Structure 1
């Protein structure tokens, strides 16, 4: 009779295996464990062989002694080698006798090799037991140790005989397949392990069939789903290997697989992010091309007009036309730059609204006037319907005018000549609802969800006759959201027109009455005749601005450097001083500080004019004593609004 000890069977395993009593003594160790531990270890305390805290080791032994399912933990040998440990009880405790726990220091591929090697040993045992029945008890113990080993593996394991029928399943395989070992034993493995392709949902050949036929290790391709007994599908990866006897003959196959749902989710996320990056890169390139196109066009027109203006004895009508071209193209370029800067500021959270009580009907009227030129240029018919008694809203009137102006300009741009544009406004229980609708080119269904994204345009043709950078609608949406409102778009498709709807929350309570009084006061001040000082070292700029102010009915004096401006303002004591920042002698900041130091000028409104428009530049101007900050080129409408107020207000200009 041949009796195999624990060491004889466990020595075939490639990883260290220990039998340890729950009081901490090593009962037995396989050959690999003795090698890892540097010699004999039986009878030694496990605590002496590890550099872990005693409480850590005791906790691992206690957890492993409770159930026959694998318990995971870690151990660090004295030489600093760290292992992931899978432990399970082999013999429960009895009176006066501690439990015996089997600890496996698992390597990634150790489970599969151990299973194959142990099956060879078991085949050898089967032959010996046939001849020597007295070894049956030992064989039963060896089978139990084998089962504990396979149960402790974190992956799912299914073993088959040479005919492809299931002979073993561990608990992880039971969980993933929905079959218990008792139900699956003796059934064809194809019935228990049913795999399909993730995309096509077509069945995939079971790898154990190829293993039994070819005798080689086989793995499934990616995108494999395991369909459980109840119909649930789980992404897996797997591999199968043959089980051979001592003579090398195939006697079965082992299938090892694991669930990879989390890994597949990460892969899909990575794929989506890659697609987003590719799209962002494509849009960036398209935007750069659009920007170059949009800047070259007005520059070409300005260059041609400047040549015409400099020609001697030119016809006055041609000069007037050329001047109008320059003005129009400069405004266009300024609007492009402003839109880009606004989008950047909003994206970075750096834009600040000049919040006040706003009459939406007045804002809409001003927006119509601002957009009248592109509407008339397209020979469109504008239908305006603004309900009376619209509730007041709280916000930045200039920014709201920018919102509705952009929507009207957008409608004019994408509506064929002679089209119709409808602007309507009404109140509801939540606030104000404004609609801008046209019968123009419409929006394709695939583009509709993206119309409010930056740099998105429907027209990507070579000629790009409609122009623009694709930031207008993105700016509209973000400005409306800053006001606590919402913006939506609807279109029946290409050629069916489009409608943009803006919803703004109404101002509640006492704020509405206060706003009405403020609007009455501002309206009364619009007719005031003001004394205005204009200071700019660019003579043309200063003189042209002075001419415009005089046409508006104001008294104007002009200076071209900081020292002259200081004397001029002291002498004339203007109501408003428009100061360039980059002045010779005394710059605009220092000039403002000196003027604020004189009591006789404390009622003078100081307006800074600069080519720098970042929030830090605006704040520096306010800190120096300015009441408002305007960007070059100065927009006449913005300056008129400030002059209409007629007194300092302590905020930045629209």
Structure 2
């Protein structure tokens, strides 16, 4: 059923009334028989100003008391009064003044300038219409061909046409509504949005036509509240609501509503926009943002977004976690405060970002760092890419990841490389030193061998004078001892390296050890014409030491000093007590030690001069053995020299050891006389050795002492000899082809007639482990080759019980 007012507002098309002027068109008509007041022009226009000013004054006074949403009602009265009194011209002046005053003082702010302009335009149109109608209505009838009236009427029609053109071409739907809720205006855009033509919509209830059923009651309550109280919150606001199309589909719309008074009643105009596409775009954007947020939130890499000013606008959780900053502290912060380029890197962070923003190119960098919340830095590799909207670069995104582990691996790799290079250099040096050592060893071994072989050949030829023969024997003996010492040094170094050097410590008198070493080296010093001086403190006391090894230390130091001291030089040794230590100082006036070589003087195989033209022989092992033996005794040894040609000083310090008086007297007392040479008369001795020279030497030495010697070249031959006759003593080599010395003694210990034969292992296997193995196999003694004839006789006598 049509609305009650439908009969008066059914018009549509170009003749349909415009919202806001329909009531004026229906109620205003010229009044016949009324004579207009005629005044001069000044009075007529002055009265127009007064009418407009009076209306403004009244509205200003009543504004605090009224809640009228429309500012135009009193001004329309002023326009009508000015036109009625003065005609069309003063009415138009009053309309212009009212429009300016309304815009400045009363016009309610709308959500957009377009709404404000439209509302003001409607008022101007209404004012012009009122002014024209009032002015013309108060004038006597004029001839039909009155040019002035024709122009005014044409202007009015033109203004109305322009306003309709504006409304018809508006992008928003413009819908008029009466106080009863009926549609009074419906522009073409409304037809497009809602699907109803103007003819179908005009006069229909707005809520029923274009609002969903669930929203209609709210609309009606709001309208009634406004009519009763003048308060409707949606007026003058841009709000979002739901619309209903002709096909009953719902869609989102955005609208603003204005209210005005017309002929004592309220009228409303709504501006509506279909925001379906915008909502879809917003939804797509929300989905995209959620998708992007999910991706960046689960990324292991940190992500920054920066604007064109280089300030952070976004940081993902990984960035917060890696740097320790919450996003609130990162947002708005300049990237240049966080990104630290490598020292000397170009460009700077600001230049880098500027290059990305200006050129729109992606930059990949490594080796930079980001500042962390605790003040430390995080090494990162990062990619900086532009953010492009259309053709404009609006910012940049920085994706970075922690390269701490990679940097540490690189550092470790570099350290390993340095160590590898160092190890390679050490290995090369070791190989070089090994080659030099082998060359020296060959030289040091061949030199005495040459003397031994030469003089032995001369002796074999015969024809030497007794004095020359004695000299030949002395040379052979001396060079044999030199070779023995070389071999001993090499074996000692081998034991030191393998950790198998054993010390048999006991309390010994320090002075006695030094004196024994002096006696050993004195012939060498005299032969070289080097003075040997000794200052020994008898009260120096005792040390807990292996006497043989401690004597070896002092002998090595003295031999070294004599070797490097020229003729008429001086070598001195001083023994003194220094607090709770015993100090042994060996000083010489010889070649000295250069400052460059001094730190390496105790290293194995090191010699200040290892060239083939060096003036002194040796393997460079003596001082290394000294240091190890001293340290094995819990002492220290240091070397000092003022330089080449300034001599050298070696100082050994050992802890003193307290002993009882009886033991002190026993260890300090020298032997009263030399022990007599034991007799081996009628002893049966079995000698087993695969080397015929060694076997022959032992047979000769023992025979000269009265022993009856049987010689065997192998273990099998020895077993056969024992079967024929049980010897009193057995001397056997260890390393022999077929059955070795260990197997031989074990076999003999299994035979009843040979189970108790005293036996000694005479072998070149001279390590402590070799001694233990020999004893465990069944030997009573272990003697290392080479062996002195006197020692050989003493061993046999000891085994036979004649020592």
2:770 is equivalent to residue 622 of structure 1: no
Flag the 1:207–1:376 CA change in 2: closer, same or farther, 3 A: farther
Which aligned pairs between 1:60-71 and structure 2 lie closer than 5 A? none
Secondary structure at the residue paired with 1:629? strand
Matched, 1:501 2:654: no
CA contact (8 A) 2:586 2:651 kept: yes
Structural mapping, 1:90-489, within 5 Å: 145=294, 148-149=297-298, 153=301, 189=335, 191-194=337-340, 203-205=344-346, 213=355, 215=361, 217-220=363-366, 236=379, 238-245=381-388, 251-260=396-405, 262-263=408-409, 264-265=411-412, 267-300=414-447, 302-303=449-450, 305-311=452-458, 312-316=461-465, 319-376=469-526, 378-489=528-639
Structure 1 position 240, deviation (Å): 3.9
Task: Name the counterpart of 1:523.
Answer: 671
Indicate which of 752, 764, 768 corresponds to 1:611. Answer: 764
Distance 2:585 2:314 in 1: 70
Q: Which moved more, 1:318-327 or 1:615-624?
A: 318-327
Q: 1:444 to 1:584 in 2, by over 3 A?
A: closer
Tell me the distance in 2 between the aligned counterparts of 1:570 and 1:519. Answer: 44
Cα displacement (A) at 1:272: 2.1
Q: In the superposition, relative to structure 1, how do residues 584 and 141 fare at CA in structure 2: closer, same or farther (>3 Å)?
A: closer
Per the alignment, do residues 213 and 283 of structure 1 end up closer, same or farther by CA in structure 2, a change over 3 Å counting? same
Q: Secondary structure at the match of 1:461?
A: coil
What is the deviation of 1:306?
2.4
Q: How far apart are residue 579 of structure 1 and its match?
A: 6.0
CA offsets per residue over residues 328-387 of structure 1, 9 Å max, x none? 333333333322222222222222223333222222222223334554455433332222
What is the deviation of 1:617?
2.7
TM-score (norm 2): 0.50
How far apart, in 1, do the equivalents of 2:673 and 2:322 lie? 80
Larger Rg computed on CA atoms: 2
Whole-Å Cα distance in 2 between the matches of residues 592 and 345 of structure 1? 28
Q: Does the Cα contact within 8 Å between 1:426 and 1:432 map onto a contact in 2?
A: yes
Query: Gaps spanning 5+ residues in structure 1: where?
Result: 1-127, 197-201, 649-654
1:69-128 CA distance string (max 9 Å, x none): xxxxxxxxxxxxxxxxxxxxxxxxxxxxxxxxxxxxxxxxxxxxxxxxxxxxxxxxxxx9
Say which SS state the counterpart of residue 650 (structure 2) adopts. strand
**Do the aligned partners of residues 140 and 614 (structure 1) sit closer, same or farther apart at CA in structure 2, a change above 3 Å counting?**
same
Assess, with a 3 A threshold, how the Cα gap between structure 1 residues 616 and 301 changes in structure 2: closer, same or farther.
Answer: closer
SS in 1 for 2:558: helix
Provide the rounded CA distance (Å) in 1 between the counterparts of 2:639 and 2:436: 27
C-alpha RMSD over aligned residues: 5.3
- The alignment covers a number of residue pairs equal to 499
Structure 1: distance between partners of 2:381 and 2:447: 66
On the 8 A contact 1:442/1:495 being kept in 2, the answer is yes
* 1:580-619 correspondence runs (5 A): 608-619=761-772
Residue 433 of structure 1 contacts residue 504 of structure 1 at CA under 8 Å; is this kept in 2? Answer: yes
Deviation at 1:287, TM superposition (A): 2.0
1:133 shift after superposition: 7.4
More helix by share: 2
* 1:302 positional shift: 2.7
Q: Which moved more, 1:421-430 or 1:129-138?
A: 129-138
| CA distance 1:359–1:294, change in 2 (3 Å) | same
Q: Which runs of 5+ in 2 are unaligned?
A: 1-276, 713-717
